[in-house]
Amino acid sequence: MLWGGRFKKKLNNEAMEFSSSLPFDINLFEEDIQVSIAHAEMLSIVKIISEDESQKIVEGLKSIFNEGIAGKWDPDGSEFEDIHSAIESRLFELIGDTAGKLHSGRSRNDQIATGFRLWIKKSIKNLLDQIIDLQRILVKVSEDNTETIMPGYTHLQRAQPISLAFHFLAYVEMLERSKKRLQFVLEETDLSPLGSGALAGSTLPLDRDYTSSKLGFSNPSSNALDAISDRDFVLDFLNACNIGMMHLSRLSEELILWSTSEWNYIKLSDNFTTGSSLMPQKRNPDMAELSRGKTGRVYGNYVSIATMMKGLPLSYNRDMQEDKEPVFDSFKTYSQALSMMGGMINTLSVNKNRFVKELEGDFLFATELSEWLVVKGIPFRESHSIVGKVVQLAEEKNQKLNELTIDELKNINPIFDETALEVFTVKDALYRKKTFGSPNPDMVKAEIEKWKTRLK
């Protein structure tokens, strides 16, 4: 124990098991070693320990790191409260009493807060790389589908014609916002609490600038009380995972729908689908379904920590030990979901002609007909009403819009002429779009080139 001096009895075995965080904070093994090495080197620089003692401590810590990486050291959760006490105990075994000097001017509070920030910084960089990979895949598939027409939806009802490329590029935009959120969290996390002690710093002349720089932080934190109790960066990281998973869940839902026999728009590869234990014909989009399903647990992780933090007085409280397991889980889940989505998109096949005939004359061209009337000088509210009557007539006759005759259109309003019928054709439907940000293939191709350059 790191704290046993004022106690007469050993901690109850069940209490030790209940309180030990070692089974999950062993994820901070590498970061804990990094922080301890920086602290030991700093203690030597400020003359609190000798250079020989510092070197002995650093070499011992490096040995523990090598043992851990090689699987030769596996501390027991029933014996140690956390990864810090396990490492310190092993350091005593390796170098003797000199190990006791490592903790000078340091608390587990600032040690773990620093290590946790390092872990989140590393994890953010990993997620950013994965998001960029997924963006590249979406752009690559989009490049081959700028004129692959499909219905765009609102309220899950057909609304207007778009392309698959246009649809996928919407997710590229979402992923870019996910990157910006993670960049914000990276900046927020980039402060070193090391040297803050338990809550109020130290009487020792610690060089916080040295350890901050050594560990790759931009600056040391300014207020020891806040540095120890701050978990805003944790909540912001979890929120970034939440929104990122929400985006992947929405795309998963669409892949699931598009891969059904009813849609028959895409086919997911064997690498990312499973079969049925009973029905031999089944091709189940399990990876997409799991991504959609696991979004709930990531949301729950955020709620868990937000609820834990809401009533805590400053500074550290043991409740805060519960901050790590949900973070590790959310990161792993989000990282795996990004990988699965990249794999699914990269290997899917598209039925490019699926909607070409079906959308010919479809009601989803009603907005285009309204705008045709606007060009003829009809106020939009009036044109909206006129086209509503056109749709009503087609419904009554159980016909598509392109099956109505010009005489029938003229009976609704004499302004209609033969050119109005061109609005109902799929051919050139996307090219008729004129506004920036629309599915006009020329504009979509320009966006693809922009993203290819940005994502190099």
The structural architecture, per CATH, of the domain 4-104 is Orthogonal Bundle (1.10)
The answer to whether the beta carbons of residues 289 and 274 sit under 8 Å apart is: no
**Residues in Cβ contact with 456 at an 8 Å cutoff, skipping those fewer than 6 apart:** none
CA-to-CA distance for 425 and 360, rounded, in angstroms?
A: 5
What's the confidence (pLDDT) of residue 19? 72
Residues of the chain with CATH 1.10.40.30: 363-454
CB atoms within 10 A of CB 51: 11
Outline which parts of the chain fall under CATH 1.20.200.10.
Answer: 109-350
Check residue 24 and give its pLDDT.
87
Pick the CATH number of 109-350 from 1.10.3470.10, 1.20.120.1760, 1.10.1240.10, 1.20.200.10: 1.20.200.10
Domain at 363-454: CATH architecture: Orthogonal Bundle (1.10)
Tell me if 112 sits within 8 A of 425, measured CB to CB: no
Single-letter residue type at 28? L
Q: Dihedral (C-alpha) 50, 54, 60, 65: value to the nearest 10 degrees?
A: 170
> Considering the entire predicted model, what is its pTM?
0.94
Active site residues: 155, 276
| CB 36, CB 87: distance < 8 Å | yes
Q: What is the pLDDT along the chain (456 residues), one digit of tens a residue?
A: 554 556 566 767 777 667 788 888 899 999 999 999 999 999 999 999 999 999 999 999 999 999 999 999 999 877 888 999 999 999 999 999 999 999 999 999 999 999 999 999 999 999 999 999 999 999 999 999 999 999 999 999 999 999 999 999 999 999 999 999 999 999 999 999 999 999 999 999 999 999 999 999 999 999 999 999 999 999 999 999 999 999 999 999 999 999 999 999 999 999 999 998 899 899 999 999 999 999 999 999 999 999 999 999 999 999 999 999 999 999 999 999 999 999 999 999 999 999 999 999 999 999 999 999 999 999 999 999 999 999 999 999 999 999 999 999 999 999 999 999 999 999 999 999 999 999 999 999 999 999 999 999
Instruction: Report the distance separating Cα 198 and Cα 138, nearest Å.
Output: 47
Picking from 178, 297, 306, 300, the residue whose alpha carbon sits closest to that of residue 231 is 306
Query: What secondary structure, in 3-state letters, does 54-123 show?
Result: HHHHHHHHHHHHHHHHCCCCCCCCCCCCCHHHHHHHHHHHHHHHHHHHCCCCCCHHHHHHHHHHHHHHHH
Q: What is the pLDDT of residue 6?
A: 60
Distance of CA 392 to the CA centre of its chain: 45
Are the C-beta atoms of 403 and 361 separated by less than 8 Å?
Answer: yes
**3-class DSSP state for residue 377?**
coil
Structure tokens belonging to residue 378: 């009809």
**182: number of Cβ within 10 Å:** 22
Which residue stretches of 315-355 are H helix?
A: 324-347
Task: Provide the 3-class DSSP secondary structure of residue 432.
Answer: coil
- Please report, as a single letter, which amino acid is at residue 242: N
pLDDT computed for residue 3 by the predictor: 45
Q: Do the beta carbons of residue 356 and residue 426 sit within 8 Å?
A: yes
Task: Indicate the pairing of strand 219-220 with strand 149-154.
Answer: unpaired
What integer pLDDT is reported at residue 79 of this predicted model? Answer: 83
Cα→Cα distances 384→365, 366, 373, 388, Å: 12, 9, 9, 6
Q: What angle do CA 443, 445, 451 make, to 5 degrees?
A: 105
Q: Look at residue 29 in the predicted model and tell me its pLDDT.
A: 96
